[in-house]
Amino acid sequence: MTYRVKDVLQALDDLTNGRCIMTPGDACSGKNPYVVTKSSNIPGKAVTETPGLVWGDPDMEVKKIAVMMTMTESAIELAAATGVNAIVTHHPIADAANSGGVLIKYYLGTYNLAAFELHEAFHGMHPGLPWLHGHKPHFATVAYDGIPGNIVYVGDVLPEINTVGDMMSRLDQLMNVDEDLEMLAAEKRIRKCEDIEETSIAARCKILVGKPENTMKKVIHMFPHTGFTAKHLERLVSNYPDVDTLLATISRVYPGHELIAKAEELGLNFVCGNSHALEIFENGMPMANAIKKHLPEAEVVIFRERVTSIPLEKCGSQGIRDYAEDMSTTYLKRK
C-alpha cells in the first residue's frame, strides 16, 4: 500500500480525535483551540502552534516516519541520511529556529521531507504520565486556576506503590536507567574523560523533601514550568487534605524555590520525577505506536535526543581543539 503525506495528516487527526488543521485556512479561522501562540513577550520570538502538516506536499509518498520531540538540524540530517520521508515532532516548529537557522522551505525542500507537529493537540489524549509515575488521577485539569497549560492531577497511588522509593524504582525500571548509566560509563571510558554529564542521568528522579521509606498514598502531580505556585499547592492541599506527596515532572525546581519550603511546611514528600528529556518515552512512544496502528505498512522510527556536557579542554580531537584555538585567537576578537 502506498501512503502519502495527506494520509499521515489524517492519521494524526484520527488519533487526536479531530484536533488537527486539515486545510491551510483552518489555522487562521480561530475555530481550532489548539492553534495557540506562545510568547514570553521577547520581540520577534513568539511561535504559533499549528497542529498537523507544517511543511510538505500532501501528495508526496511516505514510506518511513520519524517521531521526535523537537526538530533540529541534527534530526533533519539523520532523517535525510536514513530514508525518512516525514518527521512528526511533539513540540512546535518555528521557521529557522528548528532548522539550523535556515528556512524550512529550503532545508526540508532540498531533502524532500514533510514535517508535522502535534503539541497541545496531543496533550490529554492519554493518561500515561500519571501511570508511569505510579498513580491514577481522580482529579485532572489542563488549566488549573484558569491558567492555560497549568496541568494538575490529584491521584491515588497504584496498589504496588507503598513508599516514595517504590515509585522511584518503578520509574528507573521503566526508563531503563541502568542502560543509560552503562552508556555514560562507556562514553567516559572511550573519550578518556570522567567529567562528561548526560541529561537523563543528571536530571534523574530525585527527592527534594522526605525519604525513600516515607509512605506514599495520594499525590498532587504538577509541572512547575506551567505556572504552578505555592498558593496553588496550599489550595489543593486544603481541598485534598489526605495528600501526602507533591510530584513535579517534565520540569523541576531547585534549592531555594518556594514550592520546596511550602511542601516542608505542609508536611509533604516532594519528589521530582521524569524530566523533559524523557518525554520521548512518555508522549513520543504512544504517539509513534498510534501512527503505526493507523498506517501499519509504514516504517516508524524514534529519534531520541541525547545531550552531553563535555569540558571545553577535552572536547573533540587534538586537531579540532587546535583549530578552535587558532580561529578564536586569530579572528574572534575586537580589532
Q: Return the pLDDT at 75.
A: 98
Which CATH code of 3.40.630.10, 3.40.50.2020, 3.80.10.10, 3.40.1390.30 fits the domain covering 3-122?
3.40.1390.30
> What mean pLDDT comes out for the span 122-145?
93
128-276: same fold as 3-122?
Answer: yes
pLDDT attached to residue 26? 74
pLDDT tens digits, one per residue of 151-180: 999 999 999 999 999 999 999 999 999 999
pLDDT tens by residue, 234-244: 999 999 999 99
Is the full-model pTM beyond 0.85?
yes
- 260 has pLDDT over 90: yes
Q: What's the pLDDT at 31?
A: 85
What fold characterizes domain 128-276?
3.40.1390
DSSP for 23-72, written as a single string: SGGGGGSS--TT--EE--S-TT--EE---EEEES-TTSEE-EEEEESS--
pLDDT above 80 for 32:
yes
The secondary structure of residue 163, as a DSSP letter, is: B
**Shortest CA distance to 135 belongs to which of 234, 269, 280, 277?**
269
- The reported pLDDT for the residue numbered 221 is 98
Q: Indicate the domain borders of the chain.
A: 3-122, 128-276
Q: Which residues of 259-297 are buried (b: 16+ CB within 10 A; e: fewer)?
A: bbebbeebebbbbbbbbbbbbbbbbbebbbebbbebbee
What was the pLDDT predicted at 24? 77
Spatial contact of 93 and 117, defined as CB atoms under 8 Å apart = yes
Q: What percent of the chain has pLDDT over 70?
A: 100
- Nearest Cα neighbor of 267 from 228, 210, 330 is 210
pLDDT of residue 214: 98
- Name beta bridge partners: 65: 86, 300
